[in-house]
Amino acid sequence: MKGNRITLEDIAKRVGVTKMTVSRYLTNPEKVAKATGLKIKAVIDEFGYVPNRAPVMLSQANTKTIGLAVSSFSNLLFSDLIDGAEARARQAGYEIMLAHTGYRMEEEERKVTQLMSYQVDAMILTDPIHSPLTVKNLKMSNIPVVELMSVIDHPIDMNIGYNHKKIAYAAIKGLINSGRRNIMYLAARMDTRTMDRQAGYLTALREYGMEPHIYGSEAPSNFTIGAETMRKALMEFPQVDAIFCTNDDVAIGAMIACIEQGVRIPDDISILGYNGLNIGDTTIPKLTSIRTARYDMGKSAVELILMRLHNDHTPDTHMELTPMLSLGQTLTMEESQAISRHFDTLYALKLPQFPDPEEMHKRSGRRRLS
Amino acid sequence: MKGNRITLEDIAKRVGVTKMTVSRYLTNPEKVAKATGLKIKAVIDEFGYVPNRAPVMLSQANTKTIGLAVSSFSNLLFSDLIDGAEARARQAGYEIMLAHTGYRMEEEERKVTQLMSYQVDAMILTDPIHSPLTVKNLKMSNIPVVELMSVIDHPIDMNIGYNHKKIAYAAIKGLINSGRRNIMYLAARMDTRTMDRQAGYLTALREYGMEPHIYGSEAPSNFTIGAETMRKALMEFPQVDAIFCTNDDVAIGAMIACIEQGVRIPDDISILGYNGLNIGDTTIPKLTSIRTARYDMGKSAVELILMRLHNDHTPDTHMELTPMLSLGQTLTMEESQAISRHFDTLYALKLPQFPDPEEMHKRSGRRRLS
DNA sequence: TTGTAGGCGTTATCAT
DNA sequence: ATGATAACGCCTACAA
Q: How far apart are CA B237 and CA B230, in angstroms?
A: 10
Is the pLDDT at B67 greater than 70? The verdict is yes
Q: Which residues contact A74 (CB under 8 A, 6 or more apart)?
A: A220, B76, B79, B80
Residue from the list A62, A227, A311 with its beta carbon closest to the beta carbon of B282: A227
Which of the nucleotides lies closest to B6 (Cα–C1')? D9
Torsion of CA A265, A266, A268, A271, to 10 degrees: 80
Cβ contact, residue pair A4, B142, below 8 Å: yes
Whether the Cβ atoms of residue B158 and residue B145 lie closer than 8 Å to each other: yes
Residue from the list B51, B73, B142 with its beta carbon closest to the beta carbon of A3: B142
> In this predicted model, what pLDDT tens digit does every residue of B86-108 receive, in sequence order?
999 999 999 999 999 999 999 99
Mean pLDDT (chain A, rounded): 88
Cβ contact, residue pair A253, B51, below 8 Å: no
Q: Which residues contact B359 (CB under 8 A, 6 or more apart)?
A: B367, B368, B370
| Listed residue (A136, A178, A87) closest to A370, CA to CA | A136
| Listed residue (B210, B155, B209) closest to B320, CA to CA | B155
Helix axes A192-207, A164-177, angle to 10 degrees: 40
Residue A311, classified by CB atoms within 10 Å of its CB into exposed (0-12), middle (13-18) or buried (19+), is exposed
Span A100-106, average pLDDT: 95
| Listed residue (B27, B65, B21, B56) closest to B40, CA to CA | B21
- Would the Cβ of A64 be found within 7 angstroms of any atom in strand C? no
Calculate the angstrom distance between C1' of C9 and CA of B21: 26
Whether the Cβ atoms of residue B247 and residue A306 lie closer than 8 Å to each other: no
What is the three-state SS of A298-364?
HHHHHHHHHHHHHCCCCCCCEEECCCEEECCCCCCHHHHHHHHHHHHHHCCCCCCCCCCHHHHCCCC
Helix (H) or strand (E) holding B337: helix B333-346
Q: How far apart are CA A97 and CA B114, in angstroms?
A: 10
Whether the Cβ atoms of residue A200 and residue A164 lie closer than 8 Å to each other: yes
Cβ contact, residue pair B137, A50, below 8 Å: yes
Closest residue in chain A to residue B4, using alpha carbons only: A141
Angle at A77 between CA B299 and CA B146, to 5 degrees: 25
**In this predicted structure, what is the pLDDT of residue A106?**
97
Q: How many alpha carbons fall within 13 Å on the CB side of residue B257?
A: 24
> In this predicted model, what pLDDT tens digit does every residue of A39-91 receive, in sequence order?
999 999 999 999 999 998 988 778 999 999 999 998 788 999 999 999 999 99
Angle at A54 between CA B309 and CA B303, to 5 degrees: 20
Cβ contact, residue pair A278, B224, below 8 Å: yes
- What string of DSSP letters covers A175-242? HHHTT---EEEE--TT-HHHHHHHHHHHHHHHHTTPPPEEE--SSPP-HHHHHHHHHHHHHH-TT--E
Is the pLDDT at A230 greater than 80? The verdict is yes
Query: How, if at all, do strands B324-326 and B288-291 pair?
Result: antiparallel
Residue B245, helix vs strand vs coil: strand
Query: How, if at all, do strands B65-70 and B95-100 pair?
Result: parallel
Q: Give the torsion sign (CA, A300, A303, A309, A311).
A: negative
Is the pLDDT at B186 greater than 50? The verdict is yes
Of the listed ranges A21-25, B103-107, B221-225, the one predicted with least confidence = B221-225
Which of the nucleotides lies closest to A30 (Cα–C1')? D1
Residue B338, helix vs strand vs coil: helix
> In this predicted model, what pLDDT tens digit does every residue of A157-205 receive, in sequence order?
999 999 999 999 999 999 999 999 999 999 988 788 899 999 999 999 9
Which of the nucleotides lies closest to A33 (Cα–C1')? D1
> In this predicted model, what pLDDT tens digit does every residue of B347-368 receive, in sequence order?
875 555 555 444 443 333 332 2
- Would the Cβ of B24 be found within 7 angstroms of any atom in strand C? yes
Residue B26, helix vs strand vs coil: helix
Is the pLDDT at B263 greater than 70? The verdict is yes
- Would the Cβ of A230 be found within 7 angstroms of any atom in strand C? no
Rounded to an integer, what is the distance from CA A80 to the centroid of its chain? 8
Backbone φ, ψ for residue A287 (5° rounding) = -75, 130
Q: What is the band of B285 on the pLDDT scale with cuts at 50, 70, 90?
A: confident
Is the pLDDT at A284 greater than 80? The verdict is no
- Would the Cβ of A55 be found within 7 angstroms of any atom in strand C? yes
Alpha carbon of B298: minimum distance to chain A alpha carbons (Å): 15
Which residues of chain B neighbour A137 with C-beta distances below 8 Å?
48-50
Whether the Cβ atoms of residue A274 and residue A226 lie closer than 8 Å to each other: no
**In this predicted structure, what is the pLDDT of residue B191?**
82
Q: Which of B6, B47, B53 to mutate to test the interface with A (most CBs of A within 10 A)?
A: B53
Q: Which nucleotides of C are covered by protein (CB under 7 A)?
A: 1-5, 7-13
**In this predicted structure, what is the pLDDT of residue B357?**
44
**In this predicted structure, what is the pLDDT of residue B302?**
96
Residue from the list B113, B140, B222 with its beta carbon closest to the beta carbon of A47: B140
Q: How far apart are CA A68 and CA B184, in angstroms?
A: 42
Task: Name the residue closest to the C1' of C3 by its CA.
Answer: B18
Residue B220, helix vs strand vs coil: coil
Q: How far apart are CA B286 and CA B289, in angstroms?
A: 9
Q: What is the band of B282 on the pLDDT scale with cuts at 50, 70, 90?
A: low
Backbone φ, ψ for residue B321 (5° rounding) = -95, 155
Q: Which nucleotides of D are covered by protein (CB under 7 A)?
A: 1-5, 7-13
Span A134-144, average pLDDT: 93
Q: How far apart are CA A258 and CA A233, in angstroms?
A: 10
Q: Which residues contact A45 (CB under 8 A, 6 or more apart)?
A: none
Residue A47, classified by CB atoms within 10 Å of its CB into exposed (0-12), middle (13-18) or buried (19+), is middle
Closest residue in chain B to residue A1, using alpha carbons only: B309
Whether the Cβ atoms of residue B148 and residue B81 lie closer than 8 Å to each other: yes
Span A142-169, average pLDDT: 95
* Beta bridge mates, A213: A184
- What string of DSSP letters covers B251-274? HHHHHHHHHHTT--TTTT-EEEEE
The b-or-e profile of B245-257 (16+ CB within 10 A means b, else e) is: bbbbbbbbbbbbb
Closest residue in chain A to residue B7, using alpha carbons only: A141
Q: Which of A46, A53, A137, A138 to mutate to test the interface with B (most CBs of B within 10 A)?
A: A53
Is the pLDDT at B3 greater than 90? The verdict is no
Whether the Cβ atoms of residue A133 and residue A79 lie closer than 8 Å to each other: no
pTM: 0.89
Range of A247-256, A275-284, B298-307 with top mean pLDDT: B298-307
Q: How far apart are CA A85 and CA A109, in angstroms?
A: 21
Alpha carbon of A141: minimum distance to chain B alpha carbons (Å): 5
Alpha carbon of A224: minimum distance to chain B alpha carbons (Å): 5
**In this predicted structure, what is the pLDDT of residue A346?**
83
Is the pLDDT at B342 greater than 80? The verdict is yes
What strands, in cross-sheet order, belong to the sheet with B145-150?
A318-320, A158-162, A145-150, A122-125, A65-70, A95-100, B95-100, B65-70, B122-125, B145-150, B158-162, B318-320
**In this predicted structure, what is the pLDDT of residue A361?**
38
Closest residue in chain B to residue A51, using alpha carbons only: B117
Span B189-202, average pLDDT: 91
Residue A270, helix vs strand vs coil: strand
Span B123-138, average pLDDT: 96
Q: Which of A1, A146, A314 to mutate to test the interface with B (most CBs of B within 10 A)?
A: A1
Span A337-348, average pLDDT: 89
Q: Please tell me what DSSP assigns to residue A108.
A: H
Is the pLDDT at A354 greater than 90? The verdict is no
In chain B, the domains with their CATH numbers are: 8-52 (no CATH), 58-163+295-320 (3.40.50.2300), 164-293+324-369 (3.40.50.2300)
β strands within chain B, DSSP E: 65-70, 95-100, 122-125, 145-150, 158-162, 183-186, 213-215, 242-245, 270-275, 288-291, 318-320, 324-326
Calculate the angstrom distance between C1' of D15 and CA of B20: 14
Is the pLDDT at A292 greater than 60? The verdict is yes
- Would the Cβ of A135 be found within 7 angstroms of any atom in strand C? no
Q: How far apart are CA A120 and CA A137, in angstroms?
A: 13
**Cβ neighbours of B206 (radius 10 Å):** 11
Alpha carbon of B332: minimum distance to chain A alpha carbons (Å): 21
3-state helix, strand, coil in chain A (%, to 5): 45, 15, 40
Q: Which residues contact A193 (CB under 8 A, 6 or more apart)?
A: A128, A149, A150, A164, A246
Total CB pairs under 8 A between chain A and B: 169
Alpha carbon of A352: minimum distance to chain B alpha carbons (Å): 26
Of the listed ranges A23-32, A47-56, A288-297, A357-366, the one predicted with least confidence = A357-366
Q: How far apart are CA B182 and CA B205, in angstroms?
A: 10
Of the listed ranges A213-222, A243-252, B189-198, B292-301, the one predicted with least confidence = A213-222
Cβ contact, residue pair A78, B82, below 8 Å: no
> In this predicted model, what pLDDT tens digit does every residue of A294-336 receive, in sequence order?
999 999 999 999 999 987 666 668 999 999 999 999 999 999 9
Rounded to an integer, what is the distance from CA A34 to the centroid of its chain? 48
Which of the nucleotides lies closest to B5 (Cα–C1')? D9
Whether the Cβ atoms of residue A97 and residue B65 lie closer than 8 Å to each other: no
Which residues of chain B neighbour A282 with C-beta distances below 8 Å?
222-224, 226-227, 253, 256
